[in-house]
Chains A and B, each alone.
Chain A
């Protein structure tokens, strides 16, 4: 069982938690716990209901999409500080990708329904947390756009 200060410290160690106010981080730490995943564990499966938001403290996870005929394609890896399971806050609360553990990973986990209820009744905390979450999602959107450009692709071969 993780103590509150361990969770707080774990949160503060990454960019997501470090950017929260001390008060907001303390509120989150109150309702969070540390969880570890071994290599190969499927933390979230695409399309399934998702009931927790987590901030990665240590390790690496692959965010994968399955393409029939092409197999699983890793589109992003998630590193310490990054957020997984933002769908837990946003309806319909279903995972948009599959997340697989590549290196032994520990996360600070927040139960989705409880977090939603807490943010609903505490607008100040909601403002703090949702700004960070917006940052995380915007960053992923921007990165995905750049990735979409496929900048390192070779052009069509010259007609020679």
Chain B
């Protein structure tokens, strides 16, 4: 015990020619060693066999759009800044199989790819990890491990990783860790930290695992002159970066500037190539790619890195929510420096500067922050990236989230319109049956990507899904017949606040297929009818043949205790009902909305028009609830596709009040 404490507190000395001893101790634990090495004209991270693979005597220089390996006059191994790769490449690999789907005689089945209850990837040791990278790892730990959903693949890889940090000595012109409060000093999150001098390393430990490793080396304490030299190394690195930027206003500044002309200006240079997101050590957005054998009987779902700069990233069946490069650059920069605070309680940037060096157009985020985000050059107290947030992140999601697809049976289906079907599913899955109105599920078949589908009815023995065939996956789902099976994961997201209805008048406005997620809410109204005031339902559709649940709506309209009005946008002469936009059903109504709560679902523009009329009828923004459509892919806030400002629509919504959304509801391209 005494020795352990001594090891913890006393810096040790590791002579330069004995670095392999450290590597050998780590390897003896069965670890793969990942360290810097020169390859393809860059200092990259790769598996190394020994100290000889490290870039001795090599440095690097970087500026916007430029990176070069340089020759140094000494033979130090770690006196460079960061190359294009970060430990993320291993803790969160670009491709990872996450699920197998099979078609068997008993129906479709979904399982993890690793049959063991707890997958155990090869343990890793990283050597040469910088302070900015430790901060990045901490940020990704928070994203993937602190819930509500946990990424099991990341958890397994991360748990095995041993981190040998190195103090930075020579930053490049693209480094700005001092502005982000992440470096250059290594202060936390490491197992062992080295400070490199010409003839050896000062070795300090930062964890019990680090103590064990350093004890095994039996090193002597570092002497005073070496300690002094080590301090000068870090101080020199800090000085080399100059004055930190004043990041104080960036959180508010970026979110307050969605229409700033700077976005269009930077978009003229931005190639939307995704380089910045691929080299970023904190970017975590992913997609899932399905790889199938030829007959579709077995398929692998592979998680791959994706980027908010890809055109299809925010795409849904009706089009892309961020069609312009300007929209995508704004999303990236605003997320990284601003909405990340709202979501995770820290900045998403650690100041490593990779996005500046590896941008082929030489775009420097520091300049864009100065133009758009009100970031000044004045030295100010730093924001600490790892400090607790001043304001709690958005946590309005349910506690635990379902992570696995369960097999459910199709009991039958009903055709609603030419391209929309309602599947009646049987299941005993208690979690699915306990869902709330307005929640959704991810539905899938082997070899097809999963699609977010609104739950359109809850029954005691199952649920209904109403699905419009908008692409191959949803088409395959609509073609399922009685007796077939599919995979369902859910219920997901935050549903309608049903409790808000009690004692109030209820106004429900649906446009087109938007009626589907409102149907369970209407069911709830009927079940609680005595506890509610007036119930008014207004339905719009494109044409008479595009209406959903026609017979059911007809029966509702016959009830004396519910008002149902329908309209269509256009009709031929045989239609004797109303024609006109849905707001015309109530924009001159005589009811008073001051004690009403409204629930709206339809195309976003229709919901905006509807909200204005509801507001003029006395329904305030905190009593008007809408449900949003975005590219929901993981459904649990981990893949990043469905972001709208500070929200993950899949877990913070899809139901929001207008008060919660604020300007995000009407800002184009967000």
A residues near B, CB below 8 A?
14-15, 60, 62-64, 71-77, 79, 81, 102-103, 139, 143, 146-147, 149-155, 158, 160
Contacts and interface: CB of A to CB of B under 8 A. Distances in A.
Interface string B561-595: 00000010111110111111101100110000000
B500 interface: no
24 contacts: A14-B588, A60-B578, A63-B579, A71-B573, A72-B572, A72-B573, A73-B571, A76-B579, A77-B567, A102-B576, A139-B587, A143-B584, A146-B581, A147-B580, A151-B511, A151-B569, A152-B540, A152-B541, A152-B602, A152-B606, A153-B542, A154-B470, A155-B319, A158-B470
B419 interface: yes
B123 interface: no
A150 B568 CA distance: 11
Contacts of A73: 570-572
Given A74-B579, A75-B579, A149 B605 contact: yes
A63 B606 CA distance: 22
A73 B570 CA distance: 7
Contacts of B571: 73-74
A71 B570 CA distance: 13
A143 B541 contact: no
A71 B577 CA distance: 18
A37 B583 CA distance: 27
A77 B317 contact: no
Contacts of B602: 151-152
Contacts of B318: 155
Nearest to A64: B573
A160 B570 CA distance: 29
Q: Which A-B residue pairs are the 7 nearest by beta carbons? A: A152-B542, A152-B512, A15-B588, A151-B603, A77-B579, A74-B579, A77-B578
Contacts of A60: 576, 578
A107 B160 CA distance: 81
B580 A76 contact: yes
A154 B581 contact: no
A74 B570 contact: yes
B256 interface: no
B546 interface: yes
A160 B540 contact: no
Given A71-B573, A73-B570, A143 B581 contact: yes
B570 A75 contact: yes
The B contact surface, by secondary structure, is: loop
Interface residues of B, number: 35
A141 to B, nearest CB: 12
Most buried by B among A71, A74, A153, A158: A74
A158 B317 contact: yes
B470 A152 contact: no
A72 B546 CA distance: 19
B471 interface: yes
A74 B472 contact: no
A143 B583 contact: yes
A150 B319 contact: no
Contacts of B546: 152
A133 B540 CA distance: 26
A136 B459 CA distance: 45
A73 B609 CA distance: 24
A81 B588 contact: yes
Contacts of B606: 146, 151-152
Contacts of A154: 419, 470
Interface in B514-563: 540-542, 546
Contacts of A81: 588
A139 B613 CA distance: 12
B542 A158 contact: no
A60 B470 CA distance: 36
Nearest to A154: B419
B448 to A, nearest CB: 11
A150 B543 CA distance: 10
Given A73-B571, A147-B581, 9 more contacts: A15-B588, A72-B572, A139-B587, A151-B606, A152-B541, A152-B546, A153-B542, A158-B470, A160-B472
A14 B588 CA distance: 9
Interface in B281-310: none
Contacts of A64: 573
A21 to B, nearest CB: 18
A47 B319 CA distance: 40
Nearest to A158: B471
A147 B471 contact: no
A103 B511 contact: no
Contacts of B471: 158, 160
A143 B569 CA distance: 10
A134 to B, nearest CB: 15
Contacts of B319: 155
Given A143-B583, A152-B541, A160-B472, A74 B317 contact: no
A81 B588 CA distance: 8
A25 to B, nearest CB: 17
Given A74-B572, A74-B573, A146 B609 contact: yes
Contacts of B540: 152
Contacts of B584: 79, 143
Interface string B601-616: 0110110010000000
Nearest to B472: A160
Nearest to A15: B588
A158 B317 CA distance: 8
Contacts of B541: 152
A11 B217 CA distance: 98
B575 to A, nearest CB: 7
A139 B584 CA distance: 9
Contacts of A155: 317-319
Contacts of A72: 572-573
Contacts of A152: 511-512, 540-542, 546, 569, 602-603, 606
A77 B587 contact: no
B579 A62 contact: yes
A63 B471 CA distance: 36
A42 to B, nearest CB: 12
Given A146-B609, A152-B511, A77 B572 contact: no
A150 to B, nearest CB: 7
A146 B578 CA distance: 16
Contacts of B472: 158, 160
Most buried by A among B472, B542, B569, B606: B569
A148 to B, nearest CB: 10
B570 A147 contact: yes
Contacts of B569: 147, 150-152
Contacts of A153: 542
A84 B588 CA distance: 16
A11 B650 CA distance: 50
